[in-house]
Structure 1
Amino acid sequence: MTDKLNVLVRVDIDCVRAKIAAQGRVTTQSLQALYVVVKRANALMEGLALEIDVTRARVEPDALEQLHACSRSHHLPAHIDPFQADCRLSILASAEASTTLSKASLAA
């Protein structure tokens, strides 16, 4: 697996859902680029459900926590989306990444 972030966006025919699949390495730095892709996908249609699939990526725990925070708040970071448009996000992460995130949360 490469460290380079590779992103594929798929939008279903009736425009009710978009899936953003990321591969490679997701860090807090590369996450900024992923947020830009999410913002553009979210602008396609109001109320679009967005699914970010990082099951095939190596995700740093801090980056995964930031993704989950966006999912909980329904907004992207203000420096990415200053107008704070509603963003319906769900995150698909590998069980390994989720376990690492849970352990990091418990340690904090």
Structure 2
Amino acid sequence: MNSKLNIVVRIDLDHARAKVIAKGHITVHSVNALYVVAKRANSLREGLDLELDISHARVDDAALEMLRTSSETHHLPTKIDPQQAPCTISVLAPRRKAAVPAAAMAA
């Protein structure tokens, strides 16, 4: 998987929805790029439902926790959005690989 962060935004203003799709490696540093894109999308229309699709990205645990916190608080971090505008954000998290039992690996 490429470590470069690739972000695509799809916006449907008629239905007040936006989807931010990220691929690549999301770290505690690169997550700020997602936040900036989310802030710009959120500013287009009041009450916009914003979905962050990171299901095809490699996401560090700390970065995933940061995104989940934003989802729970309905606000982006203060350093990204000092005005703290409401942001309805949902995170479509990456799939976790199921652990393979050691006995199955030995067979």
Same topology, TM > 0.5: yes
The aligned amino acid for 2:11 is V
Higher helix fraction (1 or 2):
1
Could you list the runs of 5+ residues in structure 1 that have no partner in the other structure? Answer: 100-108
How far apart are residue 16 of structure 1 and its match? Answer: 1.1
**Identity level (%):** 53
Q: Which has the higher mean CA deviation after the structures are superposed, 34-43 or 10-19?
A: 10-19
C-alpha contact (below 8 Å) 2:9/2:18 kept by paired residues: yes
For 1:14 and 1:23, the matched residues in 2 are separated by: 26
The aligned amino acid for 1:80 is I
C-alpha contact (below 8 Å) 1:23/1:54 kept by paired residues: yes
Runs of 4+ in 1 over 3 A off after TM superposition: none
Q: How many pairs were matched up?
A: 98
TM-score, normalised with respect to structure 2: 0.87
Alignment of 1:6-85 (within 5 A): 6-12=6-12, 14-85=14-85
Over the aligned positions, Cα root-mean-square deviation in angstroms equals 1.4
C-alpha contact (below 8 Å) 1:15/1:45 kept by paired residues: no
Could you list the runs of 5+ residues in structure 2 that have no partner in the other structure? Answer: 99-107
